[in-house]
Structure 1
Amino acid sequence: MTDPATQRRVYLDHAATSPLTPAAAAAMIEHLSLVGNASSLHTSGRAARRVLEDAREELAAAFGAHPTEVVLTSGGTEADNLAVHGSWIARRAAGPGQPEGRPRVLVGPIEHHALHDLVPALERDGADVARVGVRPDGTVAADDLRAILAGAPGRATAVASLMWVNNETGAVQPVGVLAEACRSVGAWSHSDAVQAFGHVPFDFAASGLDMASVSAHKVGGPVGIGTLLVRREVSPAPVIFGGGQERGVRSGTLAPVLAAGFAAAATEAAAGLATRTARWQRLRDRLVTGLAHLPGARPHLPAEASPAILNVAFEGCEADDLLLLLDAAGIDASVGSACTAGVSATSHVLLAMGLAEEEARSSLRFSVGADTTEADVETLLAALPDALAKARRAGATGRPRG
């Protein structure tokens, strides 16, 4: 019997994390022996600061931003919390230039858990949380977004957040409409762009957004670093406190080595976007074509989507069962977001789209990356019929899964 630990695995969970790229690894190795805190004034500290600021400039170029707009964080989750919670804190109360205060936050029902799970905490603290609806294909209706922000309640909105690309379905959201509608009423706009950068065309300056979150490990950079891109005229309040690094909104000792790896990965991701996404689209099309021959397989296909993500419902089985059977066959996939402490739960994204509980619980996410090949997709298609039959039998009989 093949040892799962040593067999060549088919990795189709890049939306959870992508392997470190050779360029990112090389950039980090170059600076691993670096000594000095980048906030220190001595020679070693200044050397660390040079590495950090070089990385910041490289990141800014990749994102279409100014270096001063790159606020480094520990990743996408922290960036999302800083953007939304910090903006609400900064703008909720009346003050100079803000005579009425802005106690409202607008979010969608399909956000990543970083924001989805922040909403109850905001409400407990007194925030007025408004929610925009979602259509069956997983996209927010642009007209609804405009209407909510244009109304009288919209003028009390501190910040509105809408993810650029959904992490479970790949659906591309109308972030341009969000930026325009927010600007018309004086609200700040934010987008979780963790699944957007490196996967769809991305330019922070051109987007019109006030803030956007990006995470390094989704594009082959190291885990543990990300950024909140923040326009220079926007100042969210800090949500953690310390030495006042990163424009005073994100305290904490900075990590030049991680920043160097992030910058190398981001540069590659931006430069090779067109070629990479065209290949991903071919892989996605092949997977959809193959699934058409598999009874009970129903891909969720938004009108506009990232080519790197495909969510599929498999009628008559539990996604957890199918996931484990594919895992035993050497194939890595996901039941949805990987940021839920390893606990499987019915996707709030799919339920918000109107899927029945049973269908939502039968859905798997396949996501591709730089190292995904045609052979990987063919391996998946070859393994699915047997794995699906076993998963359906397990569900029908209640026998132990596997």
Structure 2
Amino acid sequence: MIYLDYQATTPLAPEAREAMLRWLGGPDSDTFGNPHSPHRMGRMAAAAVEAAREQVAALFPPGGRVIFTSGGTEALNLALRGTTGDVLTFATEHAAVLDCARAVEAQARGFTVLPVLGDGRADCAALESAITPQTGVIAAMAVNNEIGVIHPLDAVAAAARQAGALLLVDAVQAAGKLAPPEGADLIAISAHKLHGPKGIGALWVRDGVSLAPLILGGGQEGGLRSGTLSPALCAGFGAAARIAGERREEDRAHLERLWNRARDAFAGWELNGSAVHRWHGNLNLRKQGLDVARLMSDCRTVMLAAGSACASGSGRPSHVLKAIGLADAEAKSSIRLGFGRYTTMADLEAAATAIITAAREQGI
């Protein structure tokens, strides 16, 4: 099988797997301790967690702390629901942000979804017009998970500073790939999107920013996220973060070669979203009249997406593609190809041949 769904999840890095194995801890080992216990085994596990925290912290700007969570969704929920003031965000954000609207409004706070431009980037004029003295948080993605578009975060950060609001950045698709966003107050990431394990993520909190916890109990993670941490997941996350930092330029150069080859292979297909302000590991394309369900059935050995992984199977057009102005038929004739570190050129070329052949068999 050929895996081209890197936006949904990424293969576990061998270094991350190796780091996790020690802390899985069988009955004959001394590595299964609870990291919140005061005895020697607990302190060993706690040391592993803190070492991983330092490795993950290297993905973020200086001047903040890392709170481990179960993933990007929990991190975004904690940031949105644990702050104060009205929320402004954009129509192409992940459901983990947009679906917080009801919970935020239940706190007697406003939640406003702003439009994006036709290329998928934030409409900064609309943002500036929507800011009020009650605005407390502005939430924006670094890289869109469906179309790979990079928001103008410098401009969004400037608007947040001028308003005295916090900037929350969803960096799930960007962490370990792009430089950490400057001017952010809160940054959410997920391990499994950068070759780490599933089930763990992090929220970076700038020094001086206060949050109310979502999960109550033992007071772990500085009182912000109660519950026993998994040393194995933390260790895997830390190793993946370290490797991402070490390989960032190498990975980027590999992606550029894959991107250029893919663009040549799919000449004549329409690109969804900006061709300039974009992460090149995400290729979201459409072909008029394409039956995507049939295409995916005919290309069973190619793992691709018909939209975002979170919305696949719903039967609804992608809210991201609708937000950039595509008609239902255009959105439903779109596919997303995601590639990365472990994608070979041979795999990409074989997948492109299979997809193009299947589309031609539909008369497309």
Question: What TM bracket, shorter-length normalisation?
Answer: over 0.9
Cα distance change on mapping 1:279 and 1:11 into 2, 3 Å: same
Q: Give the structure 2 partner of residue 298 of structure 1.
A: 270
Residue identity opposite 2:150 in structure 1 = V
Secondary structure of the corresponding residue to residue 187 of structure 2: strand
- Structure 2 counterpart of 1:309: 282
Tell me the CA shift for residue 390 of structure 1.
4.2
Matched, 1:279 2:254: yes
Matches of 2:150 and 2:279, distance apart in 1: 7
Query: 1:100-124 deviations in whole A, cap 9, x for unaligned?
Result: xx3x110110011111222244335
Residue-pair matches, total: 358
Could you state the TM-score of these two structures normalised by the residue count of structure 2? 0.93
Match of 2:91 in 1: 109
- 1:384 aligns with 355
1:337-356 equivalences under 5 Å are: 337-340=308-311, 343-356=314-327
| SS of corresponding position for 1:259 | helix
Q: Show CA shifts across 1:253-282 (max 9, x none).
A: 111111110011111112211121122122
CA distance in 2, matches of 1:344, 1:267: 39
Task: Work out which of the residue numbers 226, 238, 258 in structure 2 matches 1:263.
Answer: 238
Q: CA RMSD in A?
A: 1.8
For residue 81 of structure 1, report the CA deviation from its aligned partner.
0.8
1:173 aligned residue: 151
Counterpart among 8, 15, 20 of residue 12 in structure 2: 20
Match of 2:67 among 66, 71, 81: 71
Equivalent residue runs for 1:200-349 within 5 Å: 201-203=178-180, 207-292=182-267, 297-302=269-274, 303-327=276-300, 330-340=301-311, 343-349=314-320
| TM-score (normalised: structure 1) | 0.85
- Is the CA contact 1:225–1:259 (under 8 Å) kept in the aligned structure 2? yes
State the one-letter code of the partner of 1:79. Answer: A
Q: 1:132 Cα shift?
A: 2.1
User: Residue in 2 aligned with 1:192?
Assistant: 170
Counterpart-to-counterpart distance in 2, 1:60 and 1:81: 20
Matched, 1:182 2:160: yes
Assess if the C-alpha contact under 8 Å between 2:216 and 2:225 holds in 1.
Answer: yes
Amino acid at match of 1:59: V
Secondary structure of the 2:87 match is strand
For residues 352 and 332 of structure 1, the distance between their equivalents in structure 2, rounded to whole angstroms, comes to: 25
Change (3 A) 1:18 1:335: same
Structure 1 runs of 4+ with >6 Å offset: none
Hey, what's the Cα distance between the residues in 2 that align with 1:86 and 1:322? Answer: 43
* Matched residue type, 2:342: D
Offset, 1:80:
0.9
Deviates more, 1:187-196 or 1:312-321: 312-321
Asked whether 1:29 is paired with 2:21, we answer yes
5+ residue gaps, structure 1, are: 1-8, 92-101, 394-402
2:46 to 26, 42, 49: 49
- Report the CA distance between 1:323 and its aligned residue: 2.1
Q: Deviations over 1:66-120 (max 9, x none)?
A: 5x61000000111111111211xxx2xxxxxxxxxx3x11011001111122224
**Same amino acid, percent of matched pairs:** 40
